[in-house]
Amino acid sequence: MTLNLEQIKEIIPHRDPFLLIDEVTELEPGVSVTAKKYLKPDEYWFKGHFPGQPVQPGVLMIEMLAQAGAVCALSLPENKGKIAFFAGIDKARFRGTVGPGDTLELHVTMTKKKGPIGFGDAVATVNGKKAAGVSGGMEAGLLSKVSELTEELYTKSAALDEAVAAVPTDDSQKAAHYYHDVVISAMDAVRVPADKLEGLVGKKFWPFPTYSDILFYV
């Protein structure tokens, strides 16, 4: 199976200027992938790495391999619409230099899967010579879990809004019983996905005070 740039964008969420693969020349979903990156002289990183002697940064070669691996993992029907996070690297090696005009061939083979985490071996070559190689783990399920919990939070928040909107206004005793029996239960239901999300989302991206903030800083 081959994929052009637009077809790649249907599988992974990366976009310019950080979509770093140009085409897929071979793909067996969930098993292996070969992709290419054509390194043009005007790639933005060459301006500063290094002036007068442009060299492809090794970390971006790793990212290219990660994006190729993401295509492999997310091309499976059960992973459609998900995001794969690069969770770790083992035994990364860089050999020689790569620069403008070179074509990187990115080869990734998935070696095992443990829960939502997929492991793979990856090699980047130029003209058949190895430029970089890694063995790493890629978590295809983390953002899927975040998305599922976010959807659950949205649904239960909407249910809480409906419950609050239906509070009896003609009798304070009825209203008190309603809050006890219905609203508090709806609030507890909202807390379940919210608490799980707080444990998954980094504090930098969490828009609300954490329990630690409330207990020790507020």
Choose the catalytic residue: 49, 107, 177, 180: 49
Distance, in Å, from the CA atom of 38 to the CA atom of 5, rounded to the nearest integer, reads 12
Q: Mean pLDDT across the stretch 116-142?
A: 76
Q: Mean pLDDT across the stretch 146-169?
A: 92
Q: What is the 3-state secondary structure (H, E, C) of 11-67?
A: CCCCCCCCCCCCEEEEEECCCEEEEEEECCCCCHHHHCCCCCCCCCCHHHHHHHHHH
pLDDT band at 12 (very low <50, low <70, confident <90, very high): very high
pLDDT band at 104 (very low <50, low <70, confident <90, very high): very high
CA 35 to mean position of chain CA atoms? 19
pTM of the predicted protein model? 0.62
Alpha carbons within 13 angstroms on the beta-carbon side of residue 34 total 9
* Residue found under tokens 């783990």: 137
pLDDT of residue 41: 96
**How much of the chain exceeds pLDDT 90, in percent?**
66
CATH code assigned to 144-216: 1.20.120.1560
Q: Mean pLDDT across the stretch 69-73?
A: 95
Residue 49 among the catalytic residues: yes
Question: CATH 3.10.129.10 residue ranges in the chain?
Answer: 5-140
Give the dihedral sign, CA 9/13/17/20: negative
Q: Mean pLDDT across the stretch 141-165?
A: 87
Q: What is the mean pLDDT of the chain?
A: 89
**End-to-end alpha carbon distance in the chain:** 56
pLDDT of residue 15: 96
Question: CATH 1.20.120.1560 residue ranges in the chain?
Answer: 144-216
**Region of 201 on the Ramachandran plot (φ > 0 left; ψ -120 to 50 alpha; else beta):** beta
State pLDDT tens for residues 133-150.
765 544 446 666 788 888
Helix or strand holding residue 137 (H, E):
strand 129-139
pLDDT: which is higher, 90 or 46:
46
Cα-based distances in Å from 130 to 50, 92, 98, 102: 22, 12, 10, 13
Distance, in Å, from the CA atom of 168 to the CA atom of 40, rounded to the nearest integer, reads 67
Give the number of residues written for the chain: 218
Q: Mean pLDDT across the stretch 69-92?
A: 90
Distance, in Å, from the CA atom of 198 to the CA atom of 211, rounded to the nearest integer, reads 9
Which architecture, in CATH terms, is 5-140? Roll (3.10)
